């Protein structure tokens, strides 16, 4: 049953095999044996894809309900003994995850020696359900998908900054239009730079589309480049606080309103949630509130 669900969720035999460490052939044979036992065809097969038949769709929906019931039973037993056990898989943004979240979850794992903790660091938006993650920490706006639930963790203030040497050489911008005369250091992903939310002269925050000859997909590299005088950067304050205190970076427009990037913990919207996940969420909310953001 579980392998069948993996095939459907992964979208094919080969991808399901990668998840469970089986060959495509082994997965196909297992599904064939299941179809023979049930006496129905679950997949309509072509040379490239496997699509659910009507019987397969009905069986898939019943399998999901059965798995939910099994999870509910496990949760009930786990809650009854109040012991954190099992595997917790979490996906995290690289820098915020490494510096802010990972220390909290490592302490959580030390506190519960029967917990298996797996942390995956990636700035891409991972599909929790398809890739089998229990929790994700995400920066920025969340979508309106009904398959996930979320709690806000913290709000990260972002600042426009540059090195003093750059500002002496190029001058300080005074308006959004002035940015076109400056070298900019955007965070670059999926073939475009993410917009900066900056204040105009009246204090209203505006989304500014950023282009540049310099394109980095790592915030720490952007901070390094800004400190080396290569341009203006828009970065979370917690990341550059030490550089600003040391003088290698200077805040621009410090007297104007600033945008904040919200951070959330999200999880699949299942009816039941294991104790290990619920407690991890509570710990993250509690501990991240202690970090100064300004």
Q: Which residues 6+ apart lie within 8 Å of 60 measured at CB?
A: 4, 5, 8, 52
Phi and psi at residue 136, in whole multiples of 5°?
Answer: -140, 140
All domains of the chain in start order, with CATH: 2-76 (1.10.10.10), 80-154+263-288 (3.40.190.10), 156-260 (3.40.190.290)
Phi and psi at residue 122, in whole multiples of 5°?
Answer: -160, 140
Q: What is the mean pLDDT of residues 192-196?
A: 82
Would you say residue 294 has pLDDT above 70? no
Confidence category of residue 77, pLDDT binned at 50, 70, 90? low
Between 71 and 77, the more confident residue is: 71
What span, in angstroms and rounded, lies between the C-alpha atoms of 188 and 77? Answer: 46
Per-residue pLDDT tens digits for 28-50:
888 888 888 888 888 887 766 67
The whole-number pLDDT of residue 270 equals: 67
**Mean pLDDT (the chain, rounded):** 85
Q: Are 231 and 214 in contact (CB under 8 A)?
A: yes
What span, in angstroms and rounded, lies between the C-alpha atoms of 70 and 68? Answer: 5
| Terminal CA-CA length for the chain | 50
- A 10 A CB-CB count for 145 gives 9
Phi and psi at residue 51, in whole multiples of 5°?
Answer: -110, 145
What pTM value is reported for the model?
Answer: 0.67
Structural tokens at position 64: 């999901």
Containing H/E element for 150? strand 148-162
């Amino acid at each position: 049953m579980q392998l069948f669900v993996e095939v459907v969720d992964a979208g094919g035999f080969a991808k399901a095999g990668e998840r469970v460490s089986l060959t495509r052939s082994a997965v196909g044979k297992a599904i064939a044996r299941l179809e023979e036992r049930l006496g129905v065809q679950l997949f309509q097969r072509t040379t490239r894809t496997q699509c659910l038949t009507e019987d397969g769709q009905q069986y898939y929906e019943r399998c999901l309900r059965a798995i939910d019931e099994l999870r509910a039973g496990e949760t009930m037993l786990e809650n009854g003994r109040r012991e954190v056990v099992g595997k917790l898989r979490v996906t995290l943004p690289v820098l915020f995850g490494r510096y802010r979240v990972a220390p909290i979850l490592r302490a959580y794992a030390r506190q519960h020696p029967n917990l298996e903790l797996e942390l995956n660091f990636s700035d891409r938006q991972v599909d929790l359900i398809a890739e089998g993650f229990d929790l994700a920490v995400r920066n920025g706006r969340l979508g309106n998908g009904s398959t996930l639930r979320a709690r806000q963790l913290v709000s990260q203030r972002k600042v426009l900054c540059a090195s003093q040497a750059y500002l002496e050489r190029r001058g300080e911008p005074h308006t959004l239009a002035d940015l076109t005369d400056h070298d900019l250091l955007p965070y670059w992903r999926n073939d475009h730079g993410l917009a900066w939310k900056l204040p105009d002269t009246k204090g209203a925050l505006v989304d500014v589309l950023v282009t540049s000859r310099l394109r980095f997909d790592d915030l720490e590299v952007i901070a390094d480049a800004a400190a080396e005088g290569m341009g203006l950067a828009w970065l979370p304050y917690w990341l550059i606080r030490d550089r600003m205190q040391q003088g290698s970076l200077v805040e621009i427009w410090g007297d104007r309103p600033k945008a904040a990037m919200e951070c959330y913990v999200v999880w699949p919207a299942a009816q039941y949630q294991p104790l290990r996940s619920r407690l991890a969420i509570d710990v993250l909310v509690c501990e991240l509130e202690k970090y100064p953001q300004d």
